[in-house]
Chain A
Amino acid sequence: GAVVSQHPSWVICKSGTSVKIECRSLDFQATTMFWYRQFPKQSLMLMATSNEGSKATYEQGVEKDKFLINHASLTLSTLTVTSAHPEDSSFYICSASPASGNQETQYFGPGTRLLVL
């Protein structure tokens, strides 16, 4: 149980284009979903917290107009990197907290590797 998927698993795009990453909780409903980015050999850095049906809360230093987050249902959140640039290349990981049961734990997706050329 508690499986989270991400799509795509990797993407290569040209500078200036937008990329959408999906995060789905497959066997549970998620009240809250989180988006992280991780650079090589570094820890996870929280970008934003999203609750179903409301606006995402962004961490300090994360541009909300560049990283658009939509959490339209209890099983799906999307992150859109708009006008991507090479410095946006990273490993993007989502997590989800169950709406019932152990709501404190976050279950992570497999990550999406983004390479911007």
Chain B
Amino acid sequence: GESVGLHLPTLSVQEGDNSIINCAYSNSASDYFIWYKQESGKGPQFIIDIRSNMDKRQGQRVTVLLNKTVKHLSLQIAATQPGDSAVYFCAERETSGSRLTFGEGTQLTVNP
């Protein structure tokens, strides 16, 4: 079936470095994508979203890039901080649907 997957299950970076978390999706009918951050024992927290008619969107310290040609999504975090340590999930939504399909998640660890 359709799925959303991640290339790297874990990522360790040094404090102050930039982080890049990748996500591959297979459903060409998806038109809306979201990145969530989940800290241990908590619910997912919305970070940033992007629609399929865009290829880049920036937020505060975060940028999401969408490459529809290769069905690839990435989240870039600038000047990564220890508080950024968490599991990051990408999620996709099918056109005209309401349900989100979540990827497997990437554990980001920021070393001081």
Contact = CB atoms under 8 A, between A and B. Distances in A.
Q: Which of B32, B45, B98, B102 has the most CB of A within 10 A?
A: B98
Q: How big is the A interface, by class?
A: 20 to 34
Contact of B49 (A43, A97, A104, A108): A104
Contact of A32 (B41, B42, B98, B101): B98
A46 B101 CA distance: 8
A45 to B, nearest CB: 8
A106 interface: yes
Interface string A76-117: 000000000000000001010100001011111111010000
Interface residues of B, number: 20
Nearest to A97: B98
Interface string B29-51: 00010101000011111100100
Interface of A: 2, 4, 6, 32, 34, 42-46, 49, 93, 95, 97, 102, 104-111, 113
A93 B43 contact: yes
A43 B103 contact: yes
